[in-house]
Amino acid sequence: MAGTEPKDFFKQRRSAPEIKEEIFLRFFTVWAETLFSTQTPPEKVLLVDASAGAAGPEEGGMPVAGKLLKSIFATSGGRPDLNKAVHPFFYEGNKSLASSLPDALENLFFYPDLQHKPVYLQTKENLEAFQEELTQDVPALYFLDPFGNRFSQELWLQGIGQENADFLMLFEYKRLAAALGKSDDQSNLAAFLGERFSRLKAFFAKTSSAAKKETFALKTLEEALQEKGLQTSRFRVNVPGKDQSSHYLLFLSRSYLAHTRFKELLLPYSDVQEDGVPLLGANLKAVRLLVPEYSKYLEFSLVNLVDDLLQNAAEYNSMVLDKIYEKHNVGKNYCKANYQTAFEKLKEQGKITLLNPKTGQVVYKLTSACRIKFKPNGSV
């Protein structure tokens, strides 16, 4: 929101449209820049917004979908030229919002200059055209709530089979729980989860703790996605002042770099624990580290990062620090500054040698471009 610092944004309770406007608008640009930074930039990109009718907080303001189109138009003639490459596909489950959306967008001043006008997935003809686009397997970014309505869930389950499809999912846990409750063994959600579906049902039946159910359900969902080759990055938003979730942002992609950029975008919004490791969430309660030794019992901590890097030294040996960070951080809470600190500690302990990436000569100042050489068995 205009005038709101990231660190303060979630200090008041936010609606899904507000979160979408704040995060997805920014992330779409970051995602596109990452995609077009490759050696072979794509000629066509699909943008699929399955809650396109949602408006921001301003009364009568431009729909968030309109602001997405504006960000596309703003790159006209540039590098990348998203106006030339991006094909938008919009869906809105609310019939009233869906019927008013085309007029709202067509009245925008830049609409005539959009090279690819949005295609609305409400009609059978347009949906078939979209299905044809998917057969080309071009890069795509979906924004949806997979538990918000049946269409969004079917769109999601179909899309995760596409090799070049990424997803930014915004949802409430209560909707996930409701979807699980309504699903039977023959449902699409059960087919997606496989044997995990029955385990999840059994866990829910024997567990009374709502918090444990939520943790197990999110873990089960991510495991099923990872099994299909998708890496996951999760950001949890709690209700201000309560130990209760409000929303989850879950990013799915096969690209390590896209995950890194997603995390870096959200770091300014995140709470941080005492050792500087982000919690990747807002309004969360960090565990108090009464003594430094307690940090090893946390899921993510600087102590654990140092140990993990040492245990996997063979995998990361002779890699540049930036590449180690990009490969190792996915699915974990660690930020780039944590890796800088961890390698400083390993250097002090004499367990690594820093090398110039071009000449291979030993250097003594740690930078993100340094090549990291682990010493055998961590010896000095």
Provide the CA 229 distance to its chain's centre, in angstroms: 15
The pLDDT of residue 53: 83
The pLDDT of residue 290: 63
**Residue % of the chain over a pLDDT of 90:** 83
More confident residue, 322 or 292: 322
Cβ contacts of 206 within 8 Å, gap of 6 or more: none
DSSP 277: -
The H-or-E segment that residue 41 falls in is: none
Helix, strand, coil proportions of the chain in percent (round to 5)?
45, 15, 35
Per-residue pLDDT, averaged over 40-48, amounts to 92
The pLDDT of residue 267: 97
Digit-coded pLDDT (tens) for 256-267: 999 999 999 999
The pLDDT of residue 380: 42
Task: Please state the pTM of the whole predicted model.
Answer: 0.93
Of 129, 131, 151, 175, the C-alpha closest to 52 is: 151
pLDDT at 297 over 60: yes
Provide the CA 330 distance to its chain's centre, in angstroms: 10
The pLDDT of residue 60: 59
The pLDDT of residue 137: 85
SS3 333: coil
Cα separation, 329 vs 335, whole angstroms: 7
**Residue % of the chain over a pLDDT of 70:** 95
Digit-coded pLDDT (tens) for 85-112: 999 999 999 998 899 999 999 999 999 9
The pLDDT of residue 55: 67
- The region of weakest confidence among 241-245, 274-278, 283-287 is 283-287
Digit-coded pLDDT (tens) for 197-251: 999 999 999 999 999 999 999 999 999 999 999 999 999 999 999 999 999 999 9
Q: Can you point out the beta strands (E) in the chain?
A: 45-49, 86-90, 119-120, 140-144, 165-171, 231-238, 245-253, 281-282, 319-320, 352-355, 362-363, 371-374
The pLDDT of residue 376: 84
More confident residue, 57 or 196: 196
pLDDT band at 58 (very low <50, low <70, confident <90, very high): low
pLDDT band at 79 (very low <50, low <70, confident <90, very high): confident
- The region of weakest confidence among 20-24, 55-59, 97-101, 350-354 is 55-59
